[in-house]
Structure 1
Amino acid sequence: MRAAFYTRTGPAADVLEIGERPDPVAGPGEVLVRVRASGINPADVKRRAGWRGMAMEHPLVIPHTDGAGEIVDVGQGVDRVRIGERVWLWNAQGGYGEAGRPFGSAAELIALPAAQAVHLPDEFDFAAGACLGVPAMTAHRAVHADGPVAGLTILVNGAAGAVGHIAVQIAVAGGANVIGTAGSPAAAAHARAAGAAEVIDRRREDVAARVMELTGGTGVDRVVEVDFGANHHTDIAVLKANGTIASYSSTSAPEPMLPYYAFANKGANLRFIQGFAIPTAARRAGERRLAELAAAGRLTVAIAETYPLTEIAAAHAHVEKGAIGNVVVTI
């Protein structure tokens, strides 16, 4: 099979190669998937770059944890009726802090546990399906980890990002009122189109003051947070007593210092969301909910750009530069 791979960490253009690799075989409990699209997440480019000293976990790595395609074979113990099924993939490489799997979705074929190949709703093409594993499941977990959201007010920081854009849609579909933040007029428009009632320009406005104005001084019930280190002072300032901050990243400050009593005095709940470590029951609930929203026409996956496999280095550079929407490699 043809695949992208690297044998050392570093800049995408320096370390990513394209070549032939042995075809994988579906082992017991596994499916073999013909990959049509491979989604790129920030975690993928960080791992390839060696972010914060990440070392190679295997001699050779085929990148990317998310993807979509068709099942072309199954291993022992898997019903052969699944052959031909359109699926989306999750955790193809495993999460941080573990060796995980060496061979991800940036290849023509991938073998992985059957449970990690989820039926792809007819409403989604392969490119959209390749963005469900991390962005959509992280968004669902961040919105719903603490229960239903009907009638609640939720602040989504980074509402135009890959996770934030879907979080807005999931929260609105659940009956929440959503306030978003964005860093440009184009990003703000993207967040509004997803259903955010109000979008605050984080570069030009005082986010905390604006949130309190929009909520009549009461604040928000929950925060979905893209960068805890950068925003936690604002988050706690606008959070209601006993509210929740669900944070899925802290890239700007990986070891943040937080004002303990500002959080404690409100009885605040701080929840860390790791898309690679979603509990099984929550994952199944998320998979069902995504399918329901897709069938109802209430879930859109934004694609910023697609690249052929031969241009995977440019695709990684696009993710590192930033984009409104997801970046996908087609195979």
Structure 2
Amino acid sequence: MRVVAATATGGPEVLRVVEWPDPVAGPGQVLVRVGGAGVNPADLGARAGFIPGGPIPPPIVLGWDFAGEVVAVGDEVTDLRPGDRIAGMIPWYLTRGAGGAYAELVAADRDWVVPIPDTLDLAAAATIGLNALTARQALELMTLEPGTTVLVTGASGGVGGFAAELAVRAGHRVVAVASHDDEEWVRGLGVAEVLPRSADLAGVGPFPAVLDAVPLGPPATVAVADGGTLVTTRPTPPLDPARGVRQHVIMIQLRQPMLTELVAEVAAGRLRTRVAKTLPLTEAEQAHRLAEAGGTRGKIVLVP
């Protein structure tokens, strides 16, 4: 099969389409023909050598999120069969690159995938796992009281967009920071107020809860109220203990029941996601260049 491998540590130019042995479905696994693989900031970071637990010697196959069709099932898998459509996520924090989603075929553990209805486009389904799970679990870390005002940075992006929607649905008042010219889409998520990315957050807070999904770093930390909660998607320097701010870094966990629920919400139209562009697997280098440049409205998805 063809895969996209990072053949060295570096920029998008290190990505190459190479032949890789076809995987097989082992016990408790399903073999999936990939119909879409999401391009995420975590993929860009892994390509550049920023991987939890330390670097991995290349070549490595990138890609967390994927959707596709079951080709075969291994022993002990009784509830899926060839032809079923699924979406899932490869937990890179566990596998550390031992087979990524930038491939024509993926052998995935059964608890990494969930069925999806025929009405859900495969490219859209490939945007859900990493982003929606991160958003949901970030909000859980906040343990918010009903009606709390929450500041969400990066609400134009995958994690921030899902987080804004989920917080609104939970009954919270959301102030969202949006990219330039993307305010209308973010406003459509039901948020109470949309701020431009150029806004001085120190002048509009303080907020009892802040999710820095970009992350902006210090510009977001000044927006959290003393005694409040700050959740970030990357480690940030500790704040002055006298402020009493509870700081958390979200470390995603692949929870299958939660993923099942989130996929159902997207399929039913109750959660919104968007695909900015689909590109052939062979154009992964271009996909990474576009993702790094920013300004895309939605996720980039590779289609083998």
- TM-score normalised over the length of structure 1: 0.83
Asked if the contact 2:30–2:110 (Cα under 8 Å) also holds between the matched residues in 1, the reply is: yes
Q: Return 15-24 or 116-125, whichever deviates more.
A: 116-125
Structure 1 residues 106 and 210: CA distance shift in structure 2, 3 A: same
Which has more helix, going by share of residues?
A: 1
Report the equivalent of 2:271.
299
Q: CA distance change for structure 1 residues 99 and 289 in 2, over 3 Å: closer, same or farther?
A: closer
Q: Describe the SS at the equivalent of 1:79.
A: coil
- Is residue 84 of structure 2 the alignment partner of residue 85 of structure 1? yes
Change in CA separation of 1:55 and 1:240 when aligned onto 2, cut-off 3 Å: closer
Give 2:301's aligned amino acid: V
- Alignment of structure 1 residues 1-331 onto 2, 5 Å: 1-13=1-13, 15-51=14-50, 57-79=56-78, 81-92=80-91, 94-95=92-93, 100-147=96-143, 150-184=146-180, 186-203=181-198, 205-211=199-205, 219-226=206-213, 227=215, 229-236=217-224, 239=225, 241=227, 243-249=228-234, 256=237, 258-262=239-243, 264=244, 268-275=245-252, 278=253, 283-322=255-294, 323-331=296-304
- For 2:218, the aligned partner's letter is A
**Does the 8 Å CA contact 1:57/1:99 hold for their aligned counterparts?**
no
Question: Any idea what the Cα deviations from partners look like across 1:81-117, whole Å, max 9, x if unmatched?
Answer: 433221112125x12xx66242101111010211001
Alignment TM-score, normalising by the size of structure 2 = 0.89
Q: CA deviation at 1:235?
A: 2.8
In the alignment, which residue of structure 2 is the partner of 1:214? Answer: none
For residues 268-326 of structure 1, the C-alpha deviation after alignment (integer angstroms, 9 at most, x for no partner) is 32221022xx2x6xx24532431442354221112121111111100011111113311
Contact 2:112-2:256 at 8 Å conserved across structures: no
For residues 210 and 229 of structure 2, what CA distance do their matches in structure 1 show? 6
Please give the per-residue CA displacement for 1:20-43, whole angstroms capped at 9, x wherever unaligned. 221110111111001000001111
| Identical pairs, percent | 35
Q: What is the SS of the residue equivalent to 2:300?
A: strand
> 1:247–1:273: 8 Å Cα contact kept in structure 2?
yes
Pair 1:256–1:324, CA change in 2 (3 A) = farther
Aligned-residue Cα RMSD (Å) equals: 2.5
The one-letter code sitting in structure 2 at the alignment partner of 1:208 is: A
- Rounded to whole Å, the distance in 1 between the matches of 2:210 and 2:105 is 39
- Measure how far apart 1:122 and its partner are: 4.3
In structure 2, C-alpha distance between the alignment counterparts of 1:99 and 1:299, rounded to whole Å:
29
> 1:85/1:148 Cα in 2 relative to 1: closer, same or farther (>3 Å)?
farther
> Which ranges of structure 2 fall in alignment gaps of 5 or more residues?
none
* Aligned AA (2:192): A
CA distance in structure 2 between the aligned counterparts of 1:80 and 1:52, rounded to whole angstroms:
34
Q: Deviations over 1:32-89 (max 9, x none)?
A: 0010000011111111122499975244311111111011111111116433221112
Q: Secondary structure at the match of 1:261?
A: helix
Cα contact 2:131–2:162 (8 A) shared by 1: yes
| Alpha-carbon spacing, 1:55–1:6, altered in 2? closer, same or farther (3 Å) | farther
Distance in 2 (CA, whole Å) between partners of 1:57 and 1:294 is 34
Measure the CA separation in 2 of the matches of 1:21 and 1:201.
Answer: 45
| CA distance 1:130–1:292, change in 2 (3 Å) | closer
The structure carrying a bigger strand percent of its residues is 2
Report the Cα distance in structure 2 between the residues aligned to 1:60 and 1:158, rounded to whole angstroms: 31
Q: Which moved more, 1:319-328 or 1:286-295?
A: 286-295
Q: 1:33 to 1:143 in 2, by over 3 A?
A: same
Question: 1:124, CA displacement in angstroms?
Answer: 2.5
Give ranges in structure 1 of 5+ residues lacking alignment: 212-218
Whole-angstrom CA distance in 2 between matches of 1:324 and 1:78: 38
Please give the alpha-carbon distance, in whole angstroms, between the structure 2 residues aligned to 1:183 and 1:230.
18
Contact 2:62 2:97 in 1 (8 A): no
